[in-house]
C-alpha cells in the first residue's frame, strides 16, 4: 500500500491540554506531516473537511457539540474514505469494538497513548482504509462480472447444497425468480450423481475448476437440458461457497446429431449413386457390345462362313477383315473410356489434349483447351486422374444432353487457387433439378478429394459453366 508522502491530519479535540499533548507526540513521531488542522468541535471539523482533503482524522469521542458514534457518522457523511481514529478517555472495550464494527479504523485510550502507538495507529489506519477500498472495488467488480456474465451462474452452500445467489442469465434461462432459486438446493435442478461427491471434488482441487461434461439440468417448466458445468470454490459473504458456471449445450448436441444424420444420409446417397453409376456403366458396356461390337463380329463371321461353305466369293474375306478391323477399333474406344489413362508417362496436358481430339473426332463439338500458370508438378498422379475423369465426364454429359456446338476448357492458376473451367453453349438446364444426377455427384466427390469445390452455373437456353476451385495454399 502507498502511504502519502506528507500527511494532512485533522485533530478534533475540545480539551486544550489533550490537544497540546497530541501535537507533541505527533512531532516526536517518524511521520512526515505537512499540516495538522485543529477543530474544537464537530461544526468546525465539518467546515475543515468540506474545504480540505485530509489523510487521517483523530476524533475525540466526547465533544461538547456532539457525542459518541454520532460524530463519526457525521464525518463519514462528508468524506466516507477518510480513516478515523477514535480518542477516548474511557477504558471500555465494548465501546471501542462497537466503533470498529461501525467502520472506525482504530480507537485509542488517551492515558495510554505514546508517540509510537499514535504513529503505528495512523500508519495502520491508512493501510486498512486503502485495503478496504481495494476490497470493496474488487467485490464490486466481481459482483458486476457475476451479474453480467452471459452464462448462468449460481453460488451454492457446500454444506446444505442450498442456492445462495444467482445471476440474471440463470433467472432468464431457468425460469425461476431469485426468490424461488434461494429456496432450492442444487439437487433440485441438477439431475446427475450425488452432489456431495462433487462438492468433495471441488475442495480437493481448491482454487481450480472442476469440469463436468454432459450433465442434465432441469428448468422451472420441467424441461431437461444438457450442460457443461464448471465448479470452483469462492468466498461468499465471508464464508466458503461454490460457484457453478453453466453452459447449455443442448442445441449444440442436437445440431451435431442432425449433422451426423445428414452425413450418414449423404454417405448413403453417395453409395447409392456409385452403385447406380456402376450398374449404368455396365449396362452401357453391355449395350455397346451387343448393339455394335457383337453385330460387327457376327457380320464378319457370316462372310467367313459363306467363303468356307463355298457359297461366297473369296473376295468376301476382305469384307470380313474390314469388319474385324472395325470391331477392334470400337473395342479400343470402349477400352479407352474405361481404363485409367497413363498419366504418369504422357502427363496431364497431353492426356487432356488426346481426350479433346478424341471427342472432336466422334462428335460435332468444337473443343478448345488451354492451360496457364499450372505445372504438372502441381498435381499428384491420383489428382491428375481425378481431373481427367471430371473433364471426361463433363464432355460426355455435354454430348448426351447439351446439344452444344462448342466447348471451352481452361485449367489455370489464380494466386493460390487452381481452377478447372468448362463452358459450353448448349441448351442449359436448371441446376436445382439436376443436382441429384449421378454424374454431378461423381464430379462433386472427385472435387472434394482434390480439396476443391464444384460450382455449376446454368439456366435453360444459357449453356452451362462448370468450375472446380482448388485451394493450394
CATH number of the domain to which 408 belongs = 3.30.565.10
Look up cell 497530541; give the residue. 22
> What pLDDT shows up at residue 264?
75
Same domain, 354 and 325: no
Q: Is the pLDDT of residue 10 over 60?
A: yes
pLDDT tens track for 332-342: 666 565 555 55
Which of 248, 273, 297 is the last residue in one of the domains? 248
Instruction: Specify if 31 maps to a domain.
Output: yes
Q: For residue 119, is pLDDT > 70?
A: yes
> In which residue are the cell numbers 478448345 written?
368
Average per-residue pLDDT in the chain?
81
Residue 66 shares a structural domain with residue 128: yes
> Between 442 and 331, where is the model more confident?
442
> How confident is the model at residue 426, as a pLDDT?
93
Q: What is the pLDDT of residue 54?
A: 92
Helix (H) or strand (E) holding 185: none
Tell how far CA 112 is from the center of its chain.
Answer: 65
d(Cα 126, Cα 131) in Å, to the nearest integer? Answer: 9
Helix (H, G, I), strand (E, B) or coil at 451: coil
300 and 373 share a domain?
A: no
Residues of the chain with pLDDT > 70, as a percent, come to 78
Smallest CA-to-CA distance from 80 within 136, 120, 40 is with 136
**What confidence score (pLDDT) does residue 62 get?**
80
Range in 38-42, 213-217, 410-414, 422-426 the model is least confident about: 213-217
The pLDDT of 197-214, averaged and rounded, is 71
Tens of pLDDT, residue by residue over 227-276, are: 888 888 888 877 888 888 888 888 888 888 888 888 777 776 766 666 56
Distance between CA atoms of 439 and 453, rounded to whole angstroms?
15
Is 255 part of any domain? no
| CA–CA gap between residue 462 and residue 282 (Å, rounded) | 33
Q: Do 335 and 401 sit in the same domain of this protein?
A: no
Q: What sign does the CA torsion over 80, 84, 89, 95 have?
A: positive
pLDDT beyond 50 at 26: yes
Place of cell 452432489: 195
Out of 47-51, 147-151, 203-207, least confident range = 203-207
Domain that holds residue 321: 261-339
Give the CATH number of the domain where residue 108 resides. 3.40.50.2300
Strands 224-236 and 417-424: unpaired
Average pLDDT over residues 123-149: 71
135 versus 71: the higher-pLDDT residue is 71
Give me the CATH number covering residue 216. 3.30.450.20
Residue 385 resides in a domain? yes
How many domains is the chain built from? 4
Whether 445 and 359 map to the same domain: the answer is yes
Give the pLDDT score at 344: 46
User: Are the C-beta atoms of 182 and 136 separated by less than 8 Å?
Assistant: no
* Structural domain ending residue among the three candidates 93, 124, 142: 142
**Span 391-409, mean pLDDT?**
92
| Alpha-carbon distances of 78 from 53, 72, 73, rounded to whole Å | 11, 10, 9
Q: Distance (Å, rounded) from C-alpha 425 to C-alpha 408?
A: 9
Region of 357 please: left (phi>0), alpha (psi -120 to 50) or beta.
Answer: alpha
State how far the Cα of 373 lies from the Cα of 412, in Å rounded to an integer: 6
Question: CB count, 10 Å around CB of 277?
Answer: 15
Q: Is 1 part of a structural domain of the chain?
A: no
Same-domain pairing of 118 and 32: yes
Asked whether residue 431 falls in the same domain as residue 368, the answer is yes
Q: Which of 227, 248, 269 is where one domain is finished?
A: 248
Question: Residues 374, 451: one domain?
Answer: yes
- Whether residues 373 and 307 fall in one domain: no
Based on the fold, state whether residues 359 and 317 are members of the same structural domain: no
Amino acid at each position: 500500500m502507498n502511504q502519502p508522502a506528507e500527511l494532512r491530519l485533522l485533530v478534533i479535540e475540545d480539551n486544550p491540554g489533550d490537544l497540546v499533548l497530541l501535537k507533541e507526540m505527533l512531532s516526536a513521531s517518524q511521520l512526515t506531516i505537512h499540516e495538522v488542522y485543529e477543530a474544537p468541535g464537530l461544526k468546525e471539523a465539518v467546515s475543515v473537511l468540506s474545504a480540505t482533503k485530509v489523510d487521517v482524522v483523530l476524533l475525540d469521542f466526547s465533544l461538547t457539540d456532539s457525542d459518541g458514534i454520532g460524530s463519526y457518522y457525521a464525518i463519514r457523511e462528508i468524506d466516507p474514505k477518510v480513516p478515523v481514529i477514535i480518542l477516548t478517555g474511557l477504558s471500555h472495550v465494548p465501546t471501542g469494538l462497537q466503533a470498529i464494527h461501525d467502520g472506525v479504523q482504530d480507537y485509542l485510550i488517551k492515558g495510554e497513548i505514546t508517540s509510537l502507538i499514535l504513529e503505528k495507529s495512523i500508519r495502520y489506519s491508512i493501510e486498512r482504509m486503502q485495503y478496504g477500498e481495494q476490497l470493496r472495488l474488487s467485490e464490486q467488480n466481481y459482483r458486476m462480472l457475476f451479474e453480467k456474465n452471459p452464462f448462468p451462474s449460481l453460488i451454492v452452500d457446500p454444506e446444505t447444497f442450498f442456492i445462495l445467489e444467482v445471476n440474471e442469465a440463470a433467472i432468464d434461462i431457468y425460469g425461476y425468480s431469485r426468490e424461488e432459486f434461494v429456496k432450492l438446493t442444487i439437487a433440485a435442478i441438477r439431475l446427475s450423481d450425488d452432489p456431495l461427491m462433487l462438492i468433495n471434488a471441488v475442495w480437493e482441487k481448491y482454487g481450480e475448476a472442476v469440469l463436468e461434461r454432459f450433465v442434465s439440468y432441469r428448468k422451472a417448466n420441467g424441461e431437461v437440458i444438457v450442460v457443461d458445468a464448471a465448479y470452483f470454490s469462492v468466498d461468499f459473504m465471508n464464508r466458503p461457497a461454490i460457484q457453478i458456471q453453466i453452459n447449455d449445450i443442448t442445441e449444440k448436441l442436437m445440431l451435431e446429431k442432425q449433422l451426423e444424420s445428414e452425413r450418414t444420409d449423404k454417405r448413403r446417397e453417395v453409395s447409392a449413386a456409385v452403385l447406380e453409376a456402376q450398374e449404368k456403366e455396365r449396362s452401357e458396356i453391355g449395350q455397346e457390345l451387343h448393339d455394335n461390337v457383337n453385330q460387327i463380329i457376327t457380320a464378319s463371321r457370316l462372310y467367313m462362313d459363306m467363303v468356307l461353305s463355298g457359297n461366297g466369293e473369296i473376295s468376301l474375306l476382305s469384307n470380313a477383315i474390314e469388319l474385324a478391323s472395325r470391331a477392334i477399333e470400337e473395342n479400343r474406344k470402349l477400352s479407352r473410356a474405361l481404363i485409367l489413362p497413363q498419366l504418369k508417362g504422357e502427363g496431364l496436358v497431353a492426356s487432356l489434349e488426346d481426350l479433346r481430339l478424341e471427342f472432336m473426332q466422334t462428335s460435332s463439338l468444337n473443343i478448345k483447351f488451354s492451360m496457364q500458370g499450372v505445372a504438372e508438378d502441381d498435381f499428384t498422379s491420383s489428382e491428375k486422374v481425378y481431373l481427367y475423369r471430371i473433364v471426361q465426364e463433363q464432355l460426355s454429359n455435354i454430348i448426351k444432353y447439351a446439344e452444344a456446338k462448342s466447348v471451352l476448357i481452361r485449367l489455370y492458376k489464380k494466386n493460390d487457387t487452381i481452377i478447372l473451367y468448362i463452358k459450353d453453349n448448349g441448351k442449359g438446364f436448371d441446376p436445382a433439378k439436376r443436382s441429384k444426377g449421378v454424374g454431378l455427384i461423381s464430379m462433386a466427390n472427385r472435387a472434394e478429394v482434390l480439396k476443391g469445390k464444384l460450382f455449376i452455373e446454368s439456366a435453360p437456353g444459357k449453356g452451362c459453366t462448370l468450375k472446380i476451385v482448388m485451394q493450394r495454399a
